């Protein structure tokens, strides 16, 4: 049990202990996905309380990939740089590290939050999809892959310690892995 409280490293990221706050939806961002002071204070409190690594809640890489949760974080705009820098600095000043969970809602997005028809590997409606998605074109898939890379680049540039790819819970990466939601016959 003593090792839980010892410093450790993961791929060069040094954490003051092995206590990790798993990705959790906080609902503390503005409607565009910008981190707010309330979220920054929450993360500061977690780090001050002894959490070694804080993994953010689902963070959309493109506005059309915004899932159905109000107040979720986005990392699609360079305009958010100062907010992310403030968040990372608050966590670091309190002795913690922070990773951003990059995601795209895919078919679990909806036009109310995302501003357009949801996009998915295939135009198939399943129970967890709020409405019928449009099938992604190859060009859109490439754009989304690039957006994940841009999200990781932004996170690093803004002082965040790492990223986690959200590949579960029926969101876009998971949709590509499931024959229920991916009926494509091409390389995707």
pLDDT tens-digit map of 21-69: 999 999 999 999 999 999 999 999 999 999 999 999 999 999 999 887 8
* 15 pLDDT higher than 80: yes
- Joined together, the tokens standing for residue 140 give 């859109």
Cβ proximity of 85 and 37 under 8 Å: no
As a whole number, the mean pLDDT across the chain is: 95
Cβ proximity of 86 and 103 under 8 Å: no
Cα 104 → chain centroid: 8
Give the per-residue pLDDT at 58: 93
- β-sheet bridge partners, residue 74: 60
In angstroms, the CA 171 to CA 146 distance is 17
- Greater pLDDT, 164 or 113: 164
Q: Tell me the pLDDT band of 184, cut-offs 50, 70 and 90.
A: very high
Give the per-residue pLDDT at 170: 92
Cβ proximity of 173 and 136 under 8 Å: no
Domain boundaries, the chain: 25-177
Q: Which of helix, strand or coil describes residue 119?
A: strand
Give the per-residue pLDDT at 83: 98
Phi first, then psi, for residue 63 (nearest 5°) are -55, -40
pLDDT tens-digit map of 121-134: 999 988 888 899 99
In angstroms, the CA 140 to CA 111 distance is 17
Give the per-residue pLDDT at 115: 84
Give the per-residue pLDDT at 14: 92
Give the per-residue pLDDT at 129: 84
- The pTM of the full predicted model, rounded to 2 decimals, is 0.94
Give the per-residue pLDDT at 1: 61
Q: Residue holding tokens 């740089």?
A: 81
In angstroms, the CA 145 to CA 154 distance is 14
Class of domain 25-177: alpha beta
In angstroms, the CA 65 to CA 183 distance is 20
Strands 97-103 and 53-60: parallel
pLDDT tens-digit map of 61-117: 999 998 878 899 999 999 999 999 999 999 999 999 999 999 999 999 988 888 889
């Amino acid at each position: 049990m003593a090792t839980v409280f010892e410093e450790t490293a993961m791929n060069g990221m040094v954490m003051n202990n092995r206590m990790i706050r798993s990705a959790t939806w906080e609902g503390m961002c503005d409607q565009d996905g910008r981190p707010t002071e309330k979220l920054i204070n929450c993360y500061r409190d977690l780090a001050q309380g002894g959490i070694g690594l804080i993994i953010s809640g689902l963070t959309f890489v493109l506005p059309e990939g915004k899932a159905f949760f109000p107040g979720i974080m986005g990392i699609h705009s360079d305009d958010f740089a100062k907010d992310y820098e403030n968040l990372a600095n608050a966590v670091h000043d309190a002795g913690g590290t922070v990773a951003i969970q990059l995601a795209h809602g895919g078919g679990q997005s909806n036009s109310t939050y995302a501003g357009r028809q949801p996009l998915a590997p295939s135009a198939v409606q399943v129970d967890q999809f709020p409405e019928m998605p449009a099938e992604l074109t190859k060009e859109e898939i490439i754009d989304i892959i690039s957006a994940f890379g841009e999200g990781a680049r932004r996170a690093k540039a803004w002082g965040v310690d790492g990223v986690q790819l959200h590949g579960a819970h029926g969101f876009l990466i998971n949709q590509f892995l499931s024959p229920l939601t991916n009926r494509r016959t091409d390389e995707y």
